[in-house]
């Protein structure tokens, strides 16, 4: 069947073939770059061992290089700080150790009276932090709803991944502009990283991907629109730095690190979806916790006392008291 299109000349066919080959080379180069980024992003993380169909998480610690710093933060066993950070570049609800809290019925910036504090130290680029959240998100939400715990979230940047800064800046926007969505967005951001890690597709670590996740989680369009500028300007870089310094000054070594009522938990022992509830139930009935001040800041917590030096920080995850270093 004839067509009205003129037949290409030999030179035109050769040029078309050259352009097609160029497109294929460029596509392959982009794919190779994405794979390289993925390998770099995920290096140093550990795996998941499965025994008898039940997820048995093996957390391996990864040391992070840091210099000793003078401590400004209470040790994990000394409770919540009693003052807000109160600095530009740090959300207004954030405490002086860079953490933020949920207490009475999962209300932001409160503590639940006479309940144990569940402290979670994490990095948004830590796959084991994402795994921990995946196992325990529903359980923690229920414990908050039942007023059984006060949750203190302690962010830090230990893996030197840019993704952590991206999420921290977005989280800062949410805390300042739509604080009631902060916990939901926090959980969604870690769930997104878990998906990215599982697929080894570092190309998804973009502001647009995070914005889509935020919108699906219920963050308003106006708030999401502010992500790009906050990330570009690193508007909450001071918060990221403060959280990392606090982690190191507290002489912790890996993420996630979890404390309940000032006692560090062995993550292998709480690798089931009801383990935290069981741990809370085993605590003494009256576990003193600071009550909420009129300003919303926790009061009655131990005062901030300087500690000597700093410590090696890490991400990947601690398990028992002596985590095995990743290769």
Q: What does the domain layout of the chain look like in residue ranges?
A: 43-314
**Candidates 3.40.30.10, 3.40.640.10, 3.90.1300.10, 3.40.50.880; correct CATH number of 43-314?**
3.40.30.10
For residues 207-220, average pLDDT = 98
- Report whether 204 contacts 122 (CB < 8 A): no
Backbone angles phi, psi at 296, to 5 degrees: 100, -10
* Mean pLDDT, rounded, for 222-243: 98
Q: Which of 270, 266, 286, 289 lies closest to 278, judged by CA?
A: 270
Using CA atoms, how far apart are residues 276 and 15, in angstroms rounded to an integer? 65
Res 187 pLDDT > 70: yes
Average pLDDT estimate for 321-326? 28
Given a cut of 60, is residue 219 above it in pLDDT? Answer: yes
Q: Is the pLDDT of residue 81 over 50?
A: yes
pLDDT value of residue 272: 97
Query: Can you give the pLDDT at residue 31?
Result: 54
**Mean of the per-residue pLDDT values of the chain:** 77
Instruction: Kindly report, residue by residue over 119-177, the tens digit of the pLDDT.
Output: 999 999 999 999 999 999 999 999 999 999 999 999 999 999 999 999 999 999 999 99
User: What does the angle CA 175 – CA 160 – CA 316 come to, to the nearest 5 degrees?
Assistant: 90
Cβ pair 159, 62 in contact under 8 A: yes
pTM above 0.75, yes or no: no
pLDDT at 287: 52
């Amino acid at each position: 069947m004839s067509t009205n299109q003129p037949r290409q000349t030999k030179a035109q066919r050769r040029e078309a073939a050259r352009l097609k080959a160029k497109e294929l080379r460029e596509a392959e180069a982009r794919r190779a770059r994405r794979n390289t980024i993925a390998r770099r992003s995920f290096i140093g993380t550990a795996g998941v061992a499965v025994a008898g169909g039940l997820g048995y998480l093996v957390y391996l610690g990864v040391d992070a290089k840091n210099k000793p710093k003078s401590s400004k933060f209470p040790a994990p066993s000394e409770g919540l700080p009693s003052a807000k950070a109160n600095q530009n570049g740090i959300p207004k609800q954030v405490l002086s150790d860079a953490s933020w809290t949920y207490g009475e019925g999962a209300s932001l910036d409160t503590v639940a009276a006479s309940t144990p504090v569940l402290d979670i130290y994490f990095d948004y680029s830590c796959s084991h932090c994402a795994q921990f959240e995946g196992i325990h998100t529903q359980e923690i939400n229920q414990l908050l709803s039942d007023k059984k715990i006060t949750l203190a979230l302690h962010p830090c940047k230990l893996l030197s991944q840019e993704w952590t800064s991206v999420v921290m800046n977005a989280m800062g926007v949410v805390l300042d502009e739509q604080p009631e969505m902060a916990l939901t967005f926090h959980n969604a951001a870690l769930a997104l990283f878990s998906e990215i890690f599982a697929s080894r597709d570092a190309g998804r670590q973009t502001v647009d991907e995070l914005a889509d996740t935020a919108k699906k989680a219920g963050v308003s369009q106006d708030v999401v629109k502010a992500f790009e500028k906050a990330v570009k300007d690193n508007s909450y870089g001071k918060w990221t730095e403060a959280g990392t310094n606090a982690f190191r000054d507290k002489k912790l070594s890996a993420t996630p690190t979890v404390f309940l009522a000032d006692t560090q938990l062995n993550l292998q022992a709480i690798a089931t979806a009801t383990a935290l509830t069981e741990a809370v139930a085993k605590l003494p009935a009256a576990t003193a916790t600071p009550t909420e001040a009129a300003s919303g800041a926790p009061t009655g917590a131990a005062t901030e006392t300087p500690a000597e030096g700093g410590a090696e920080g890490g991400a990947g995850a601690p398990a028992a008291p002596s985590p095995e270093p990743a290769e």
